[in-house]
């Protein structure tokens, strides 16, 4: 049900590595829609791992997966729309 | 037989194979929390669209190192909670309590770093009324901070339960319920960190 210890450890390492990537992008001061999109995708992938594996929604009724993953994607879609709205014309 | 009819003849997995880890009530609570954070994140993003230069300049002054370290601490705490659940599932109550203690240490580390970050911000004159960015920075991160505090209380309750050998295969509902809440606290931070500290 909760997977193996090895899988959890691998996911944790990937999650921390992805966090380092986000931090490095921030330290470089990189900006623009492509960077924002990359960071949004990284956040979605990390969130998906937490939802499906750590919260074990992979084995939950499909409605719960749809609600939580849908929340993640919808939230970033709204952030993306707002980001686009704020771009210089 | 074409693909469509083959698919139609494949039986759907029985509903009994699906299982929500933890109490239904906590999942309804989690959904409500996710919606609240989602509204906050969207409000931040749409307000930024009207003050892009101000938000970008004040975002650069944040402690991104501390934010990233706090992300790693929350992820590590979540990982330890997963290991605690796995240990309880194989009757290893003692190991389970040790993993939970590790998760609490990470949670405490998050709280200490956040307090340091708030202290440094207040020293620089940051307040709810100093700018729209600061208002969102303080209210969003403090709203999340309160959830970490509640998460720590829940982890402590699980730790006492694990030490008493309360969780074992067939009786995991309490631990899974608490674990789900902690992972939710982690999940919303995975959006909050890039949104408030990095993206511009």
List the domain range (segments joined by +) for residue B150: 22-198
CATH of residue B98's domain is: 1.20.120.80
Domain-located, residue B36: yes
Statement: residue B14 has pLDDT above 70: no
The string of pLDDT tens digits covering residues B39-66 is: 999 999 999 999 999 999 999 999 999 9
Tell me the mean pLDDT in the region B63-79. Answer: 97
For A82, which of B21, B38, B45 is closest by C-beta distance? B45
Domain presence at residue B1: no
Give A81 or B11, the one with higher predicted confidence. Answer: A81
Cα A16 off chain centre by: 12
- Smallest CA–CA distance from B71 into chain A, residue: A19
Distances (CA, A) of B61 to A31, A82, B58: 15, 22, 5
Percent of chain B whose pLDDT exceeds 70: 92
Write the burial class of residue A46 (CB in 10 Å: 0-12 exposed, 13-18 middle, 19+ buried). Answer: buried
pLDDT for B13 equals 54
Would you say residue B1 has pLDDT above 50?
A: no
Determine the average pLDDT of the residues in B104-125.
Answer: 97
Average pLDDT over residues B147-155: 98
Residue B9 lies in a domain: no
- ipTM of predicted complex: 0.96
B180 lies in a domain?
yes
For residues B92 and B97, give the distance between their C-alpha atoms in angstroms, rounded to a whole number: 9
Is the minimum CB–CB distance between B159 and chain A shorter than 8 Å? no
Distance from CA of B123 to the nearest CA of A (A): 23
Q: Out of A27, A42, A59, whose CB is closest to B64?
A: A27
Judged by a CB distance cut-off of 8 A, whether residue B65 touches chain A is yes
Q: Is the pLDDT higher at B171 or at B15?
A: B171
- Between residues A31 and B140, the one the model is more confident about: B140
Cβ-based neighbours of A41, under 8 Å, separated by 6 or more: none
- pLDDT at residue B80 in the model: 98
| Interface contact B45, partner A, CB < 8 A | yes
Which of B14, B36, B82 is the best mutation test for A, with the most CBs of A within 10 A?
A: B82
The two tokens of residue B8 are 């139609």
Structural domain boundaries of chain A?
5-85
Residue B10: pLDDT over 70: no
- Chain A: residue whose CA lies nearest to B47: A82
What is the residue whose two structure tokens read 């931090």? A23
Q: What is the pLDDT of residues A2-59, one digit of tens each?
A: 789 999 999 999 999 999 999 999 999 888 999 999 999 999 999 999 999 999 999 9
pLDDT at A88 (0 to 100): 83
Q: Would you state the pLDDT for residue B17? A: 80
The answer to whether residue B59 is domain-embedded is yes
For the cut 70, the answer to whether the pLDDT of residue B171 exceeds it is yes
For residue B113, pLDDT over 50 is answered with yes
- The pLDDT value recorded for residue A29 is 86
Chain B residues touching A2 at Cβ < 8 A: 21, 82, 85-86, 89
Checking if the pLDDT of B7 tops 60, the result is no
Q: Is B153 within a domain?
A: yes
Instruction: Please state the domain count of chain B.
Output: 1
CB B110, CB B103: distance < 8 Å: no
* Averaged pLDDT, A58-69: 96
Please report how many Cα atoms fall inside a 13 Å half-sphere around the Cα of residue B170, on the Cβ side.
Answer: 1
Q: Say what the pLDDT of residue B137 is.
A: 98
């954070």: which residue's tokens? B37
**Number of Cβ atoms within 10 Å of the Cβ of B93:** 18
Q: How far is CA B60 from CA A40, B134, B195, B200, in A?
A: 19, 12, 12, 9
Question: B79–A11: do the CB atoms touch at under 8 Å?
Answer: yes
Best CA proximity match to B84, nearest among A15, A16, A8? A8
CB-based contact, B50 to chain A, within 8 Å: yes
Average pLDDT, chain B: 93
């Amino acid at each position: 049900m909760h997977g193996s210890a090895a899988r959890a450890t691998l996911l944790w390492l990937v999650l921390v590595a992805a966090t380092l990537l986000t931090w490095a992008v921030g330290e470089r001061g990189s900006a623009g829609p492509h960077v924002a999109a990359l960071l949004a995708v990284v956040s979605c992938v990390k969130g998906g791992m937490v939802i499906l594996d750590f919260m074990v929604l992979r084995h939950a009724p499909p409605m719960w997966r749809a609600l939580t993953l849908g929340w993640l994607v919808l939230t970033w879609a709204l952030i993306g729309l707002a980001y686009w709205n704020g771009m210089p014309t | 037989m074409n693909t469509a009819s083959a698919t139609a003849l494949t039986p759907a997995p029985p509903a009994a194979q699906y299982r929500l880890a933890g109490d239904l009530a906590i999942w309804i609570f989690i959904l409500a929390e996710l919606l609240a954070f989602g509204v906050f994140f969207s409000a931040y993003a749409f307000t930024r669209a009207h003050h892009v230069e101000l938000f970008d300049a004040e975002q650069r002054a944040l402690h991104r190192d501390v934010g990233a370290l706090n992300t790693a601490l929350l992820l590590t705490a979540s990982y330890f909670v997963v290991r605690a659940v796995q240990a309880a599932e194989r009757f290893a109550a003692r190991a389970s309590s040790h993993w939970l203690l590790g998760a609490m240490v990470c949670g405490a580390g998050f709280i200490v770093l956040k307090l340091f970050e708030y202290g440094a911000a207040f020293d620089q004159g940051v307040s709810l009324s100093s700018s729209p960015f600061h208002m969102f920075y303080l209210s969003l991160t403090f709203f999340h901070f309160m959830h970490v505090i509640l998460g720590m209380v829940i982890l402590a309750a699980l730790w006492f339960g694990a030490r008493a050998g309360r969780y074992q295969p067939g009786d995991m509902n309490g631990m899974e319920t608490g674990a789900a809440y902690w992972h939710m606290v982690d999940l919303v931070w995975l959006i909050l960190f890039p949104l408030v500290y990095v993206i511009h």
